[in-house]
Amino acid sequence: MSKEPRRLSEVLSSGQFAVTIEYNPPKGTNISKVLESAKSLVGRVHGVNVTDNTAAVVRAGSMPVCRLLYELGHDPVMQLTCRDRNRIAMQSDLMGAHMLGIRNILCLTGDYPTVGDHKEAKPVYDLDSVQVMQLVQGLNNGHDMAGNKLDGSTAFTIGAAVTPEADPVGPMLAKFDVKVKAGAQFFQTQAIYNPDLFATFMTAVRPYKVKVLAGILLLRNHKMAEFMNANIPGVSVPQEMIDELKAAGDKAEDVGVEIAVRTINAVRAHCDGVHIMAIKGTHRLADIITKAQLG
């Protein structure tokens, strides 16, 4: 195994501009594409998120993929949704994750099963994302959710999600406050396409002693942008970007990379880092990092 990676928490606490990326585990057991991409980015990013059955679509688990990334030399961020596990399973998985070298947990509610590929699945939602943060804090302090003492505590850095372009903004800011009080130490935002709105959001949350990483999602074509506007709450791709992608034709993905780089350059003065998501375009992560001069 390679030496232990530099921890995301150290990068954030030192005030360095942090760069995190994201992978979906495969639907199946072929992990080669993820590992091939991730191997080329060792030393160029500070954290790697692994999604947890995102969009309620069944995939391989976040935890084993996080361990494989750790072995490559990355500091993984394990995503944990409330949809599929009760509090017993969550605590068990968290203790296991700590044993495997995982030190970052992103607590999420999780999309409802009806949006995914197993629509008959029964949702759990025993806890919400705020209660999971409190649960993780408890494990860090050496006790389970029922107050029982642990033989060896965890040492997780707690992450949360936020939607800076939510409309209206009030409820989102109230939830941000609740998540900070529940133990969130860093936030990774939903995709940002309006840097001015993001700057306003950052002015509102700057008094909090937490780190905020701006979400940068690669637009591969205009149809993807239109789909997001129609289906993803709190995400608004401006019409001029959609027109730009449409005009690019076969080169739309290249334009998407340029839009991502422009957005990074527009927000970097306002935040503590960026979280770059490429979904089916992970082969372009290195391009974005290089062109934005991130590492």
**Residue 108 bridge partners (DSSP):** 81
What is the reported pTM? 0.95
In angstroms, rounded to a whole number, what is the distance separating the alpha carbons of residues 102 and 96? 9
> Domains in the chain, please, with CATH?
8-218+272-286 (3.20.20.220)
pLDDT in tens, 181-215: 999 999 999 999 999 999 999 999 999 999 999 99
pLDDT in tens, 124-159: 999 999 999 999 999 999 999 999 999 999 999 999
In angstroms, rounded to a whole number, what is the distance separating the alpha carbons of residues 220 and 234? 19
Residue 126: CB atoms within 10 Å:
15
Q: Which helix (DSSP H) or strand (DSSP E) does residue 40 occupy?
A: none
pLDDT confidence band for 3 (50 / 70 / 90):
low
pLDDT confidence band for 231 (50 / 70 / 90):
confident
Q: Please give, one letter per residue, the 3-state secondary structure of 195-240.
A: HHHHHHHHHHHCCCCCEEEEEEECCCCHHHHHHHHHHCCCCCCCHH
3-state secondary structure of 162: strand
Handedness of CA 125, 130, 131, 137 (dihedral sign): positive
> Hey, what are 92's tokens?
């068990």
